[in-house]
Amino acid sequence: MPEGLSSAEVGKEIGEHAKHTVGHHDLITIVGAVILSVVAIVAAWSGYSAAKWSTHSSLNLAKASAARTEANRAYQQSLIYRVGDALTFNAWLGAYYSGKPKAIVIAQKRFRPAFRQAFDAWLATHPFTNPAAPAGPQAMPQYHAVGARQATLLDASADEHYAEGQHAAETSDKYIRATVILASVLFLIGISTHFTIPAVRLGLIAVGVVLLLFGVLEILQLPGPPA
């Protein structure tokens, strides 16, 4: 029997090897395409979520700023009423120590109804004979300056909106980080097509798959985009 293979057999072996090689490369290409499709969808979702959370953060920070401005305005209003109440009370106190009944009556008529309640409660403590009496009507629990409670509520609302805005900004940053990871996967899978050595292509695809899984896990731990 002649040693070796005939020309026809050699040609047949080369053809079968070529078919096998082409099939192997096609399989790698298909896997890479599938991964690219998955990454593109996940990256688009991650980018969309990042944009939504960024907008949510901006809106809440704007609401916090507006509420803080309203709180300052309400607080200034309360200061105006406090000063006005103090002036009318000082006028009454001066008339009282001067022993002028008509001036006392006139001063009391200038009291705001809300201040009058605190004033009557203060008088009930016998402030001129009781050393333990409060310093004045504004020190009484019955005294409420207009705008003071509103300022407190608006400050609390501003703090809440600011905290929510900060949380939304942090969530947006995390989505952006996941998007960057997914972009790295796109780069690795894309550059793998430039290599003809199957081991190199498979290695790049494997690294891309690991990064893809890591990015997906990051996204799954985050809240969905706000409505």
3-class DSSP assignment, residue 173: helix
pLDDT at site 16:
52
pLDDT at 165 over 90: yes
pLDDT at 30 over 80: yes
- How far is 223 from 8, CA to CA, in rounded Å? 65
What does the block give as tokens for 100?
């002028």
The arithmetic mean of pLDDT across residues 42-67, rounded, is: 95
pLDDT at site 144:
87
Q: What share of the chain is helix, strand, coil (3-state, %, to 5)?
A: 80, 0, 20
- How far is 84 from 73, CA to CA, in rounded Å? 17
Q: pLDDT of 96-107, one tens digit each?
A: 999 999 999 999
pLDDT at site 161:
96
pLDDT at site 11:
47
Q: What is the pTM of this model?
A: 0.68
Q: pLDDT of 58-103, one tens digit each?
A: 999 999 999 999 999 999 999 999 999 999 999 999 999 999 999 9
Q: Are 157 and 62 in contact (CB under 8 A)?
A: no
CA dihedral sign, ordered 25, 27, 30, 35 = negative
Domain assignments of the chain as residue spans, ordered by start: 34-220
Q: Which residues, other chains included, contact 107 with Cβ-Cβ below 8 Å and sequence gap of 6+?
A: 88, 91, 92, 95
Confidence of residue 25 (pLDDT cuts 50, 70, 90): low
